Amino acid sequence: MTMENINGANDRLKELTPQVREKALALASGYENNGMNANEALQKGIAEA
């Protein structure tokens, strides 16, 4: 996992509305709990929110 990937996901997260950000974080949390690494989980959560 590179810092560039983490920063890119965090930047995308900041651009979301509060409601969509909340949904993205909830989805990412579920993916992370299922064994996905944090960066991939966040990116997938954002994409699906």
pLDDT for 9: 77
pLDDT for 2: 42
- State the alpha helices, DSSP H only, in 1-49: 3-14, 18-33, 38-48
pLDDT for 3: 45
pLDDT for 26: 93
Closest CA to 12 of 22, 21, 3: 21
Q: What is the pLDDT along the chain (49 residues), one digit of tens a residue?
A: 344 455 677 788 888 899 999 999 999 999 989 999 888 888 899 999 9
Predicted model pTM: 0.76
